[in-house]
Structure 1
Amino acid sequence: MEFKDYYEILGVKPDASEADIKAAYRKLARKYHPDKNKEAGAEDKFKAINEANEVLRDTEKRRAYDQLRAGGYRGGEQFRPPPGWGNQGFDFGEGGSGDFSDFFESLFGGRAGAARGTARPRRGGDIQAQVQIDLKTAFDGGKTRLVLQDSRGGERTLEVKIPAGIQPGQVIRLGGQGHAGQAGGTNGDLLLEVGIRDDARFRLDGRNIIHVLALTPWEAALGATVPVPTLAGTVDLRIPAGSQSGRKLRLKGRGMPGPTPGDQLVELSIRVPAADTHEQKAAYEALREQFEGFDPRAA
Structure 2
Amino acid sequence: MQFKDYYDTLGVKPDATDAEIKRAYRKLARKYHPDVSKEADAENRFKAVNEAYEALKDAERRREYDNLRAGGYRAGDEFRPPPNWQGRQGGGHGGFQGEDFSDFFESIFGRGRAGGGPRGQSGPRRGSDLQARVQIDLASAFNGAKERITLRDPVQGERTLEVKIPAGIEPGRTIRLSGQGNPGTQGGPAGDLLLEVGVREDSRFKLEGHTITHVLPIAPWEAALGATVPVPTLAGNVDLRIPAGSDSGRKLRLRGRGWPGKTPGDQIVVLEIHTPKAETPEQQAFYENMASTFEFNPRR
TM-score bracket, shorter-length normalisation: 0.7 to 0.9
Give percent identity, aligned residues only.
66
- Structure 1's 100 and 274: CA in aligned 2 closer, same or farther, altered over 3 A? farther
- After superposition, the C-alpha distances for 1:105-162 in whole angstroms (9 at most, x for unaligned) are 4443539977547667676665555443221111111222344454647444433222
Contact map agreement 2:145 2:166 (CA 8 A) in 1: yes
Q: Which residue of 2 aligns with 1:16?
A: 16
Residues of 1 paired with 2:264 and 2:204: CA distance? 20
Partner of 2:139: 136
Kept in 2: contact 1:96–1:182 (CA 8 A): no
- Give the drift of 1:189: 4.1
Shift in Å at residue 187 of structure 1? 4.8
Q: Distance in 2 between matches of 1:96 and 1:215?
A: 56
Report the Cα offset of residue 213 of structure 1: 0.8
Would you say 1:161 and 2:164 are equivalent positions?
A: yes
Give the TM-score, by structure 2 length: 0.78
Alpha-carbon shift at residue 244 of structure 1 (Å): 1.2
Which stretch of the first structure deviates more once superposed, 159-168 or 169-178?
169-178
Aligned to 2:52: 52
- Is residue 287 of structure 2 the alignment partner of residue 288 of structure 1? no
For structure 1, which segment, 73-82 or 57-66, has the greater mean C-alpha deviation from structure 2 after superposition? 73-82
Q: Which runs of 5 or more structure 2 residues have no equivalent in the other structure?
A: none
8 Å CA contact retained: 2:87, 2:109: no
Helix, strand or coil: the match of 1:233?
Answer: coil
Q: Is the 8 A contact 1:92 1:183 kept in 2?
A: no
What's the counterpart of residue 100 of structure 1? 101
Q: For residue 214 of structure 1, give the secondary structure of its aligned residue in structure 2.
A: strand
What residue ranges of structure 1 are gaps of 5+ in the alignment?
none
Give, in whole Å, the separation in 2 of the partners of 1:150 and 1:80: 35
Q: 1:198 aligns with which of 183, 197, 201?
A: 201
Give, as a single letter, the amino acid of the residue that structure 2 aligns with 1:70: A
Q: How far apart, in 1, do the equivalents of 2:199 and 2:164 lie?
A: 15
CA 1:99/1:269 → structure 2, altered by over 3 Å: closer, same or farther? Answer: farther
- CA–CA separation in structure 2 for the residues paired with 1:43 and 1:281: 69
Kindly provide the CA deviation profile for residues 251-294 of structure 1, in whole angstroms up to 9, marking residues without a partner as x: 444333344443432211112345677766554443322222x2
Q: Matched residues in 2 for 1:90 and 1:121: separation?
A: 16
Q: Write the letter of the residue equivalent to 1:72.
A: G
Q: 1:118 to 1:29 in 2, by over 3 A?
A: closer
Aligned-pair RMSD on alpha carbons? 3.7
* SS at structure 2 position matched to 1:230: coil
Corresponding residue for residue 223 of structure 2: 220
Deviation at 1:46, TM superposition (A): 2.7
Q: Figure out how many residues of one structure are paired with residues of the other and give that number.
A: 296
Report the counterpart of residue 256 of structure 1 in structure 2: 259
User: SS of the counterpart of 1:14?
Assistant: coil
Alpha carbons of structure 1 residues 127 and 254: separation in structure 2 relative to 1, 3 Å: same
Q: Describe the shift of the 1:37–1:214 C-alpha distance in structure 2 as closer, same or farther (beyond 3 A).
A: farther
TM-score, normalization by structure 1: 0.78
- Give the drift of 1:55: 0.8
Structure 1 position 10, deviation (Å) = 1.0
Q: Please say if residues 91 and 118 of structure 1, whose CA atoms lie closer than 8 Å, have aligned partners that are also in contact.
A: no
| Letter of the structure 1 residue corresponding to residue 204 of structure 2 | R
In structure 2, relative to structure 1, the CA distance for the partners of 1:32 and 1:111 (3 Å cut) is closer
Matches within 5 A, 1:36-51: 36-51=36-51
